[in-house]
Structure 1
Amino acid sequence: MGQLLPIVNEYLSVMEEDVEINDLQLNYYYRDTLLAGSDGGENYAELVKCLQPKKHLKSHDAAQLLTTLKSLSEVVSYIDPIQHESLLSSLSRLSLWDYAPTDRKYDAAADIMDALLELIVSLAASKGIYVDFCLELLVKHFVPPKYAFEFLKNENGVGMKNKVLSRVHAALKHIADLVPLAPLRLSPIVVHSMPKRFAKEPEIVMYVENMLMLESGEIGEIVGGTMLPALVDKLIELDVEIGWDGKLQEDAKCIFAMEIQDFADFEDDDEKYYSMCTTELLNRNNLQGNQVAEKLDSLIVLTFLHLESCQSKGRLAEVFDILLTSFKRTVLNTYKSKFAQFVMFYACALDSEGCGVNFAMVLTEMFDSRVNPPITRMSAVAYLASYLSRAKFLSSELVANIIQRLVDWCFAYCKLHDFDMNPQAHQVFYSACQAIMYILCFRMKSLMEVPRLKVKLIKMPMELIWKHKLNPLKVCLPSVVEEFLKQAKAARLFMSAELFIFDDLLEADLSKAFGGINRLDMFFPFDPCLLKKSESYLRPHFVRWSKVRTTYDTYANEELSDSGSEASDDDFVDMNAKDMNDYDMAGSVEAGLDFDPDLNKMSITPKSMKYGFQAQTEGRMPSNIRLSTTTESFV
């Protein structure tokens, strides 16, 4: 054996008698060993061996490791990246998780963790060349070794996790204080080290949890602008991996039939509903046993909780601005995005008067700006329509004002294009027309109940738009057109009877040229969220179709009242329901009525089909609007 072990043993035996002298002597010894490098023979080899991880660390080994780490912290300036490559390699394999309190307890565990972090911090501060190396060592601890995940599940797991991660983040803050440029180096390291697509759910969730701790921590002002966009990018990456392209129509029968027919059967059994509506759906699509959806669901919920924390600390507006920039860069034009956009929805719900209004106005401006390419404008107005329709927290005044802007834009467009329709040449126009109709499918009743908003709505030149040669009623999605005209007729919104006589509302070549199954202009991004955990957070803020009061519901009830008949509870949707967990779909499907579930949706990328507008449809849930999964009507 070399001389290192006897010297350390001697130090350990006399340290209580003369600590200061022996510390100094030991530091000189380690300095000389480092200066000799690999040419130092057994002394350097023993030093490297001492730093190598051991599965079973005895008390004496723990004391030796502790002494070595402390001494190296004093002589880090002598560590050379070339001469001491093997030492740095051994250091990189040491893990705090190996020394955190577990069922393998020994007295020096916490001291070893602190000494290891002290060495890492000292090394980072000693020479600029080690900053990235030390930051990578710390970021590596965001996710524990595989064996530790099982331990984290028991009653001591939370304590173990907190002991490690609190130290890691404190060390990152310490390095940032000593090396001001370190946070700028940290951001790309964190983003690059994110678990890849095949990582298991606990790994990626814990890693993102640490990213959000950085964002809200003391160095968040510097790194926060990177953490949140990186998280949004990860959400999108997982989202588009849940690919139901080509199978949407096949599986839509399951989702929307469940949403319409069977919600009432499962209102007291969420587990049963979601296992049928989500798990079976995703498994049928070969989505890796639903693992991708579960990862995405957990990450979205984690983001929701972070937003709640930001709100409680008064920094939601600041975080929202970062998310909004990321949304415009990443999410907006990702046509396969199905769930990631609900992060924006939830942020708006937490601050309806600030973030909520801001999001609506930004989308409106993006649509209105000719600087943006057509595909961006079409996407923005699709998001706007879906957001105004589904966000329970938005005021009728705001909705009416935005409808006014869209109508004014469409009217001005009509005056500049006085010729026959051409769906390919006027896609932005038709997108805006479809957005107006879609919003009014959800909001017409609530707007018409406010006298000044009713007057405002009636005065809008919508009738001139619908009768123009561009003829949007024959180009936009037939299911939206049919429901819109049905409500407009009941509300007596237009004077022209010809608007309500449509025997040729077919999704023929004109409509297909504008839309089609995978087009953004047929996309309603805030259709009901099918992720179980995420949906439970969204539910109180989300409007589902079964709770929307339509104008023809009122018209039908007035006719019953005039005839002296009493409407039963089964003849209309209970608009006064207050139970946030109520999934009652009363009024959508009558007992014994056969129906085609493909006709029951106003959904993302609906199926091409033929529709005929029935002017005298009974006052019940229309068969062409996809139901929502959430709560009560607009007031």
Structure 2
Amino acid sequence: MGKVHGMSGQEELPEMETTDVSDLQLIYSVRDTLVEVTLGVRENYDELVRYLHPKRNPSAEEFAALVTTLRGLSGAVSYIDPAHHDALLFALSRLSLWNYATVVMDALLELIVSLAVSNGMYIDWCLEMLVKHFVPPIYLFDFLKETNGIEKKNKVLSRVHAALEQISDLVPLAPLRLSPIVVQKMPKSCKMSEPEIVMYVENMLRLESGAIGEIVGGTMLPALVDRLIELDVGIGWDGNLQEDVKCIFELELEEIAEFADEDENIFNMSTTDMLNRNNLQGNKVAEQLDSLIVLIFLHLESCQSSGRIAEVFDILLKSFERTVLNAYKSKFTQFVMFYACALDPEGCGVKFAMVLTEMFGSDVNPPITRMSAVAYLASYLSRAKFLSSALVASVIQRLVDWCFSYCMLHDVDMNPQAHQVFYSGCQAIMYLLCFRMRSLVDVPRLRMQLIKMPLEPMLKHKLSPLKVCLPSVVEEFLRQAKAARLFMTSESFVFNDLLESDLSKAFGGTDRLDMFFPFDPCLLKKSQSYLKPHFVHWSRVRTTYDTNDNDEDSDSGSEASDDDFVDGNAKDSIDDDMIMGVEAGLDFDADLNKMSITPKSMKYGFVTQMERGMRMPTRI
């Protein structure tokens, strides 16, 4: 008999030698041994249990005895009684498929399946035995990096998942019992290494996309999102958020690598981003989170290829609403939603925007949820390269109409704490227009739609949103509005004495939502590479005051493409039919649209500070 796969990592074995004992005789012998224990006779039983104890480099005889015992037990599972055979069950629980050749794997799995089917009391034990094999013993991880190790991994895991599906077919309630077991056994990040957690999550996602995914998928994905949030909040910024929010218009991280040799650009990098990026270097929790997010990205790509992206997105959306939306400054987990939307812009992408819009506008939701929803909405529409200008204009219309209606119903003076939802809506509108104004005003019909919105009366209302919202956002918005001639009344706005960061902090409250735009650039290295093709960095935005545009990128007389707000990247244009189709498909309240007015012409005045060429924030 050749070497067995034990600690040595050997795998191949010759055929088992045949014996004169038939399968039926073997089963009868094991059955009698199990029955004898109930009568107080343990000699044969103790010997049988000894065959099951795992051994380092077992001999050929020990190996043969192990396989024979497993096969005999498979035919006598109805005689296994936990009251008398606890030693047997304990010995079986210590066997690992990872340590044996395929002949032992198949014998052990046959026993597990037979035991699960024979008696309902063993279902959980059998499922836990299988889930245990999602991750190999720690000493095998280096071996699994080799060619033979990869082959070993495939052999073990394919058999484990086949056994789970077989049990689910034979015991219909098994998947419902499996879900909580998988979630409960998920490794804790503080106790297991990154490879262990990653392999376990790989198996969770394999379950979700497998034959029983329809039953367990609703549990696997939310559990993974919960784990991402746990890791996410474990990555602290060590109090690095800037207090001076007036100075956050700086160069984004994408350009730090690009201009690493140019000191003047490096000095534009904010203290916050330098500290945050340094904190993530060598941060084990961040590395684990990065790897898990990439796994989910790859899973989403697979779902998109198989036509399941909408189904999976609905599960993720519910999990987002329950877990992520109100998580205190979630840093990276939300990019799972962003990437799902990027894979299906016209379906998931539009749906996410509409859900967030409805959440903001619904009085049923608590203020903190509405404020968070509109922050997500503004950040998402600003950063998502794959969304049409028509969709963006339609959402802005709804936000402006809601804020203007709020002004008409609240003819009161400024109060940051009493009207937080209103101010969050105004800030979202201005932030969004900082990114998207150029792409809207370059399209005649969208420019006209923007001009007709009641932006001016909303901003000049006694509630004074320009005093309360984040000064850096207000200044950039006003600078672009001036260049775009967005307001044309005979009066001038006077803003130079209205920019008070203390009021902005009061509006943000203890949660500092004044600095919360959740789709700011992702700092996780591996995840960022997936997001980059779909993500808008501020440095690439074409502003209304940018005089270095290449007009040849656009055809005169036609609508701008969705990528035209990204300087020099107008490659994948969206035709008029697609834009009109998206806009026509949105169900907006016609009564709200009637509230739009066309502002009168005016000369627009601005403060000196706004002329300094400040940049949009790296993180807000």
- The TM-score with structure 2 as length reference comes to 0.83
> What is aligned with 1:160?
152
> What is aligned with 1:262?
256
CA distance in 2, matches of 1:369, 1:422: 21
CA distance in 2, matches of 1:29, 1:278: 72
Alignment of 1:347 onto 2:348: no
> What is aligned with 1:113?
105
Give, in angstroms, the shift of residue 27 of structure 1.
1.5
**Contact between 2:371 and 2:424, CA under 8 Å: does it hold in 1?**
yes
> What is aligned with 2:138?
146
CA distance in 1, matches of 2:610, 2:502: 27
Give 2:475's aligned amino acid. E
CA distance in 2, matches of 1:152, 1:31: 38
CA distance in 2, matches of 1:513, 1:280: 27
> What is aligned with 2:4?
none
Give, in angstroms, the shift of residue 355 of structure 1.
0.3
> What is aligned with 2:357?
364
How many residues are matched?
550
Alignment of 1:32 onto 2:32: yes
**1:471-508 superposed Cα distances (whole Å, 9 cap, x missing partner):** 10000000000000000011110124765532224334
Change (3 A) 1:535 1:288: closer
**Contact between 1:216 and 1:224, CA under 8 Å: does it hold in 2?**
yes
**Contact between 2:325 and 2:372, CA under 8 Å: does it hold in 1?**
yes
> What is aligned with 2:464?
471
Gapped regions of structure 2 (runs ≥ 5):
1-14, 551-564, 573-605
> What is aligned with 1:62?
63
CA distance in 2, matches of 1:111, 1:462: 74
**1:325-344 superposed Cα distances (whole Å, 9 cap, x missing partner):** 00000000002310000000
**Contact between 1:283 and 1:289, CA under 8 Å: does it hold in 2?**
no
**Contact between 1:254 and 1:277, CA under 8 Å: does it hold in 2?**
no
Q: Give the aligned CA root-mean-square deviation in angstroms.
A: 3.0
Which range moves more in the overlay, 22-31 or 182-191? 22-31
> What is aligned with 2:497?
504
CA distance in 2, matches of 1:92, 1:77: 18
**1:53-88 superposed Cα distances (whole Å, 9 cap, x missing partner):** 111112221111111100100000000011000100
Q: Look up the SS of the partner of 1:552 in the other structure.
A: coil
CA distance in 2, matches of 1:254, 1:183: 50
Alignment of 1:481 onto 2:474: yes
Give 2:611's aligned amino acid. T
**Contact between 1:48 and 1:86, CA under 8 Å: does it hold in 2?**
yes
CA distance in 1, matches of 2:111, 2:517: 54
**Contact between 2:481 and 2:487, CA under 8 Å: does it hold in 1?**
yes
Change (3 A) 1:492 1:262: same
Change (3 A) 1:49 1:578: farther
Gapped regions of structure 1 (runs ≥ 5):
1-12, 100-108, 559-572, 581-611, 629-635
CA distance in 1, matches of 2:446, 2:73: 75
Alignment of 1:128 onto 2:129: no
CA distance in 1, matches of 2:388, 2:113: 52
2:182 to 190, 195, 198: 190
Structure 1 residues 296-311: aligned runs within 5 Å: 296-311=289-304
> What is aligned with 1:617?
611
CA distance in 1, matches of 2:248, 2:464: 34
**Contact between 1:476 and 1:514, CA under 8 Å: does it hold in 2?**
yes
Give, in angstroms, the shift of residue 41 of structure 1.
2.7
Q: Look up the SS of the partner of 2:340 in the other structure.
A: helix
**Contact between 1:256 and 1:627, CA under 8 Å: does it hold in 2?**
no
> What is aligned with 2:9?
none
CA distance in 2, matches of 1:248, 1:423: 21
**Contact between 2:290 and 2:527, CA under 8 Å: does it hold in 1?**
yes
Q: Look up the SS of the partner of 1:246 in the other structure.
A: coil
**1:411-430 superposed Cα distances (whole Å, 9 cap, x missing partner):** 10000000101111100000
**1:374-430 superposed Cα distances (whole Å, 9 cap, x missing partner):** 110000000000000000000000000000000100110000000101111100000
Q: Look up the SS of the partner of 1:551 in the other structure.
A: coil
CA distance in 2, matches of 1:211, 1:277: 39
**Contact between 1:414 and 1:465, CA under 8 Å: does it hold in 2?**
yes
1:231 to 224, 228, 246: 224
Give, in angstroms, the shift of residue 37 of structure 1.
1.7
Give 1:617's aligned amino acid. E
CA distance in 2, matches of 1:371, 1:322: 22
CA distance in 1, matches of 2:254, 2:343: 29
Change (3 A) 1:528 1:284: closer
**1:537-559 superposed Cα distances (whole Å, 9 cap, x missing partner):** 000000011110101114x879x
**Contact between 1:348 and 1:356, CA under 8 Å: does it hold in 2?**
yes
Identity of paired residues, percent? 70
CA distance in 1, matches of 2:183, 2:366: 30
Change (3 A) 1:333 1:497: farther
CA distance in 2, matches of 1:489, 1:512: 26
CA distance in 1, matches of 2:451, 2:416: 27
CA distance in 1, matches of 2:272, 2:135: 29
1:219 to 190, 194, 212: 212
CA distance in 1, matches of 2:127, 2:271: 44
Change (3 A) 1:405 1:282: closer
CA distance in 2, matches of 1:541, 1:513: 34
> What is aligned with 2:542?
549
**Contact between 1:125 and 1:179, CA under 8 Å: does it hold in 2?**
yes
**1:517-537 superposed Cα distances (whole Å, 9 cap, x missing partner):** 742353100000000000000
Structure 1 residues 271-290: aligned runs within 5 Å: 281=275, 285=279, 289-290=282-283
Change (3 A) 1:487 1:15: closer
RCO greater where, 1 or 2, for CA within 8 Å and sep 6 or more? 2
1:430 to 423, 430, 434: 423
**Contact between 1:347 and 1:355, CA under 8 Å: does it hold in 2?**
yes
Give 2:35's aligned amino acid. L
> What is aligned with 1:569?
none
**1:188-227 superposed Cα distances (whole Å, 9 cap, x missing partner):** 0000000012121001000000000000000001101000
Give, in angstroms, the shift of residue 164 of structure 1.
0.3
**Contact between 1:382 and 1:521, CA under 8 Å: does it hold in 2?**
no
Give, in angstroms, the shift of residue 627 of structure 1.
7.9
CA distance in 1, matches of 2:108, 2:365: 52
**Contact between 1:96 and 1:113, CA under 8 Å: does it hold in 2?**
yes
Give 1:362's aligned amino acid. V
Give, in angstroms, the shift of residue 98 of structure 1.
0.5
**1:242-301 superposed Cα distances (whole Å, 9 cap, x missing partner):** 01151233999999667387332359xxxx9xxx9999846865x794000000000000
Change (3 A) 1:283 1:332: closer
Give 1:299's aligned amino acid. L
**Contact between 1:96 and 1:164, CA under 8 Å: does it hold in 2?**
yes
Q: Look up the SS of the partner of 1:337 in the other structure.
A: coil
Give 1:343's aligned amino acid. V
1:171 to 159, 163, 171: 163
**1:453-487 superposed Cα distances (whole Å, 9 cap, x missing partner):** 00000000100000000010000000000000000
Which range moves more in the overlay, 490-499 or 303-312? 490-499
Give 1:133's aligned amino acid. W
**Contact between 1:212 and 1:306, CA under 8 Å: does it hold in 2?**
yes
Alignment of 1:494 onto 2:487: yes
Structure 1 residues 449-464: aligned runs within 5 Å: 449-464=442-457
CA distance in 2, matches of 1:442, 1:223: 40
Change (3 A) 1:32 1:452: same
- The TM-score with structure 1 as length reference comes to 0.81
